[in-house]
Structure 1
Amino acid sequence: MSGDTEAQQRLLWLLDAPLFVDEALVARLFDAVVRPDYEVQSRQVGHASEDTRRRLFGAELTGGYDLGLSFLTGKLKLEAKGTAEHENAHKVTDSSSLTEVPVDTAGRRLEEIALTYLNNHPERIVFVNTDGTARDFTGRTLAIADLEKAAVAPPRMLAFVNVAAGTPIIPMACELEKGGTRLLFERYINELWKDDAQKPTYPTDRAELEARRAYWAALAERFSSRTAMELIEAAGTDGRLGWIDFRMPIGSQGDAMHLHAVLGGRYYTGDFAYNLVRRGNHHGIRLVGTMKAGMDLNILAVFDR
């Protein structure tokens, strides 16, 4: 595999059946970014640029080519316009227009969102790792502070977050479909700290960054995937979850990414209690979502490793 192997591998996550997908959020982002003229059949999606192919595969242009990622193959078989000399003169050429096949699922829409970002907003696709390293599709390296600043500008950053095995995914709060919020972090702290005097308390709004980092580091240091799993399972006994939030350490300085997932009562509690939190801690997990200010990720889809 040549070219940008990291980008290829992360885009290929979309080949998998997601453990979770937020269909409503995917639909809204699809409408905002792809901006379709028609709902399903015979809709022109856009153009696949030669720059996108070059960034992904780093290969010299031939008379024709296939984008190569099988989740785009078929619908997106591309023929180059003109010769290599013509392409060199114009830098960017457009491939043939694309017509959507009559399949309308959240997974397919997520693929088209990714394609639109690749072609039109490559600097807004980011590959994030829980060790604190990140870069965008153009190759620019991003620090955590860069991610926080860049997340504010439109369109939303489309983030592919690789969660390494051993990463704590700490449940913070959830709301049941039938109503009622559960402050999971309070129960988490009470389970892991028996001495009230030693329990960490969340810093005030005016506290320095280091105080917040120390708080998240304390919660991560004592992380128990079993305890976290059981807290979510206990909350789920009162009904299906409407939404659930987590904190996840990122980097080595105590920073923590906020994760927000809207289940809408459509998923079993175990999908998040066991598969995301406990199994994800043991084996790692893959997240695709949109970034917002404050190291905050709205989860579009979750994929097992």
Structure 2
Amino acid sequence: MNDPKSRQITSADDLTTRFEWLLDPPHFIDDHYIELFYNSVIRPEVKREESWEMEFTEETAREVSRGLGGRINIGQLVGGLSSLLGEFTVEASCKNMFISKEKQKHIIELTPVETPQQQLVQLLADYLSQYPSRLFFINDVGVDKDWRRTENITQTPREMVFWDLPSEDDADLYDIPKTKLLPMAIEFSSGRIEVLHNKLRIPKRDKPSWRQYIRYFDCDDCINAVETATDRESGDIRWIDFRVPLSDEKTARLHFEPRGKYHAGKFAHNLIRMSLKHGLRIIGTVKTEPDIHVLAAYRK
């Protein structure tokens, strides 16, 4: 992880690394919500069998750079995307053979896809091409706060965030909040909903607050809260909500919708314990609170 205090992404290599998350098999992916999102953003303009062209220019790179700490040029931007989408062609806006890079267009032809992993790739590319100001890359929640400002969240289309949650060692090294996933509530495939946060142990002398839940976080306690809420009659997880620290007293909600595809105990263990120790990479959309609907999560 780069030094978070130097700003989140300061070079083309940093940005390319975020793109390359999508080359990993996800630990979790919300195929249903991704398809709805994909159909809303891309499908209204493109029929199922049609192809379409996506265009990137130097102005696109400037728009992406505005939200970053460093300058990203068009060659670096499309170079990072090429590993996900394939090769681009370059066209000039006039016939002058000495045309400057300012006038060049980098174009790629795409066709609609059906797998959630490839749909997520095309959504990223579409946002970079059409809505670069709606993409946020988060490394240090203490420094980068624009993504959670209400005036940004409420704009359309919905924000997409790439959040690199730190390992325990990195959190200590850079003095940033640890990846403590506090289970809040869960619904099972049977329809039963169980509140989880009241099962977490904090000293009785303390009034429950985010500060206290964060301070007394314990992996075994959190995993046990999920496992004890689970029984055979309830089935697997339909959705589960966590809180993750933004500071010593503020949190964001992480909303996962496994829809019965993940066993509760294994899902809780891999998310809670492994994320604290090794960190977690999340791609999601943002609602007010802040509330992140997790599209995909990748273990480190």
Output the TM-score relative to the length of structure 1.
0.78
SS in 2 for 1:67: helix
Structure 2: unaligned runs, 5 residues or longer:
1-9, 66-70, 168-177
Q: CA deviation at 1:48?
A: 3.3
Distance 1:257 1:92, change over 3 A: farther
The answer to whether the 8 A contact 2:202-2:212 is kept is no
**Count of residues paired in the alignment:** 270
Identity over aligned pairs, percent: 25
Q: Distance in 2 between matches of 1:43 and 1:163?
A: 36
Work out which of the residue numbers 79, 91, 102 in structure 2 matches 1:81.
91
Work out which of the residue numbers 283, 294, 298 in structure 1 matches 2:293.
298
The answer to whether the 8 A contact 1:67-1:73 is kept is no
Structure 1: unaligned runs, 5 residues or longer:
135-141, 202-214
Distance 1:124 1:92, change over 3 A: farther
Q: CA deviation at 1:60?
A: 7.6
Q: CA deviation at 1:179?
A: 1.3
Distance 1:232 1:50, change over 3 A: same
Q: Pairwise CA RMSD of aligned residues?
A: 2.8
Work out which of the residue numbers 29, 35, 41 in structure 2 matches 1:27.
35
Output the TM-score relative to the length of structure 2.
0.80
SS in 1 for 2:54: coil
1:13 aligns to what? 21
Amino acid at match of 1:95: H
Q: Distance in 2 between matches of 1:184 and 1:177?
A: 17
1:155 aligns to what? 157
Q: Distance in 2 between matches of 1:240 and 1:10?
A: 31
Q: Say yes or no: does 1:285 pair with 2:295.
A: no
1:261 aligns to what? 256
Deviations 1:1-36 (A, max 9, x none): x94333222121111111111111111111122235
1:120 aligns to what? 130
Distance 1:271 1:151, change over 3 A: farther
SS in 2 for 1:149: helix
The answer to whether the 8 A contact 2:135-2:159 is kept is yes
1:130-169 residue pairs with structure 2 within 5 A? 130-134=140-144, 142-143=145-146, 147-165=149-167, 166-169=178-181
2:243 aligns to what? 247
Q: Distance in 1 between matches of 2:97 and 2:61?
A: 14
Amino acid at match of 1:9: T
The answer to whether the 8 A contact 1:66-1:73 is kept is no
Please, which moves more after superposition, 28-37 or 163-172?
28-37
Distance 1:226 1:61, change over 3 A: closer
The answer to whether the 8 A contact 1:258-1:295 is kept is yes
Amino acid at match of 1:37: V
Q: CA deviation at 1:85?
A: 4.8
